[in-house]
Chain A
Amino acid sequence: MMKEYLRLQIHMLHRQMRAFGLGPIYAYPLAVILFLVFSYLLFAKSVYAPYVYAGIGLLALSALARKERCDFLRICFRKKAYLRLRSIENLLVTSPFVIYLLIEGAFLPAAFLFGLSAGFTLLAIPVVFSRVLPTPFGKQPFEFPIGFRRYFGAFLVLYFVSVMGLRVDNFPLLAFILGSIFALCSSFYNWVEPKYFVWLYHFREKDFLISKLRTAGWYSSLLALPILVACLIFFPDKWWVSFLITLWGLSFLSAVILAKYSVYPKQASLPEALWLTAGLLFPPILIWLLVYFYRKATSNLKPLLA
């Protein structure tokens, strides 16, 4: 039965790869190459890479240890099989990280991560019914209230690092954080809502898209404002760089939203991802992308909103 379960997971993974527009035959080598490139760059650029790496591994382990998921597995399997399955899963997820850490000679983080993967076998992390986190975005649900609550910790870290950047007069760091705020806000739009939540709107497709773009523009600017103001006050001679990054951030965020609705209700897949990456690396492309995705999105949404 455990073999069946693992086989099913592989089937599901392959299905997701195909839905993304990549057959497993291409997806596996690509994933390995991306992993190696990412790892190489991370270790080449930062002395904190082993800790970042261990942190990523920890996040992956936490995702597998969700209580709801573990409870389901406990119902399906006897205790011994359940523990075996959980340890196999944890090892599979952490082994690339552990191996790379060993290659880089980071033995302590590697041992730490390996120990965690064993320890997490016994854990089931419950959903925290924490108090509702107040947000200034409650008037225009849903992307920003959800995204802000989900990534609240990440925003805190970004603001904290920007304060550190200010203390050491590091403008590039602040500029990077300014861009990261918009990139984080773009991730709020990765998820595809059920059709009902688009159908619901009494808007024409053009008005619908404009209302989405306006909300995203205002709210992301609000989140980026403290960093932008800090850049302008402490590095006034670089004001144009700060404004260019803000403009890039807003354009990229808009392109992500339009790309999402250009293929809605499907999930944006490889072609959209490639175009957006091109826009990320060569910002002038964003102007063309905005027009292209806007046209596609309006014609795509017409049947649902008309």
Chain B
Amino acid sequence: MIHLENLSKSYGTKKVLTELKLAFAAGKVHGIVGANGAGKTTLFRCIAGLEKHLGKVSADREPLKNHLGFLPTDPYFFPKITGREYLLLHANARRQKITNLDQQNIFDLPLDEYAKYYSTGMQKKLALSAILLVPNQYYILDEPFNGVDIQSNLLITAIIKQLRKAGKTILISSHIFATLKEVCDTIYQLQDGKIAQTVDATQFDRLESEMTQVTIGKRLQQLNLK
């Protein structure tokens, strides 16, 4: 369980998150949706402890960061570091002894090549593999499906379901609504730094059609496409 109490974050005078009060239960997948700039990534970074913020973030296992696997939107890859070394870096940082990396290479990544030159999808899969190598209670997956192929998409979906079954708390953001509908138990719509609505599985279709209507609206006509 992760609790947010009056979580607020500003960059200078710009308010990004405003007094969020949320509880993310264990054994559930919590989806966060919102337009670009709505504050999803900032929210995740605040929960992880990567950003200073007002309000409180607490969890049943403290310190939260030591039980958290965090997949950033755009994972950073050092130049001249192989996939294997990237995974080792994560394992070492978490004091985890890894005996057989090749066996755990479920995405069949070329681990002995420089990770910097992987494709976007392969980089995402490597970053995901890194956080799955180490046992965690909480997972934050920021855009885990970005750039990955259809086979990996299916595999990531299955992994998320497996984590839920194991009682983990999972927070996920994605711009692919269909995938969110498939894996999430609850979806939170973040708008202007506040939770605009919280919906459960029975209302996912309504939320999707609402968002489609708001997002598309009359914009296509503005383009005057012929």
A residues with a Cβ closer than 8 A to B are 129, 132-133, 138-142, 145-146, 149-150, 193-197, 199-203, 303-304, 306
Interface centre among B48, B50, B80, B81 (most CB of A within 10 A): B80
Known: A199-B50, A306-B63. A132 touches B112 (CB 8 A): yes
Point out the residues of chain A lying under 8 angstroms from B79, CB to CB: 146, 150
B88, A139: Cβ atoms closer than 8 Å: yes
Known: A133-B80, A196-B76, A197-B76. 13 other contacts (CB 8 A): A129-B117, A132-B112, A141-B81, A141-B89, A142-B85, A145-B80, A145-B81, A145-B85, A194-B76, A195-B50, A200-B89, A202-B93, A306-B63
For B78, give the chain A residue with the smallest CB separation.
A142
A138→B85 contact, CB < 8 A: yes
**In the docked arrangement, what's the CA distance between A200 and B50, Å?**
10
B49 at the interface (CB under 8 A from A): yes
B residues 41-95 touching A (CB-CB < 8 Å): 48-50, 52, 63, 65-66, 70, 72, 76, 78-82, 84-86, 88-90, 92-95
Residues of chain B at the chain A interface (Cβ within 8 Å): 48-50, 52, 63, 65-66, 70, 72, 76, 78-82, 84-86, 88-90, 92-95, 112-114, 117
Which of A129, A195, A197 touches B89 (beta carbons < 8 Å)? A197
Chain A residues positioned under 8 Å from B50 (CB to CB)? 195-196, 199, 304
Query: Which residues of the partner chain A approach B63 to less than 8 Å between Cβ atoms?
Result: 306
Distance between A86 CB and nearest chain B CB, rounded to angstroms: 24
Contact indicator B117/A304 (Cβ below 8 Å): no
A199 and B85 in contact, given A142-B78, A149-B80 (Cβ under 8 angstroms): no
Q: In the complex, A137→B66 CA distance in Å?
A: 26
Bound: A133/B65 CA distance, A: 34
A304 to B51 CA separation, bound complex (whole angstroms): 9
Give complex CA distance A194, B74 in Å: 12
A150/B88 contact (C-beta < 8 A), A132-B112, A200-B93 known: no
B80 contacts A141, C-beta separation under 8 Å: no
Q: For residue A146, which residue of chain B has the nearest CB?
A: B80
A139-B88, A141-B85, A199-B50 known; A150+B72 contact, CB < 8 A: no
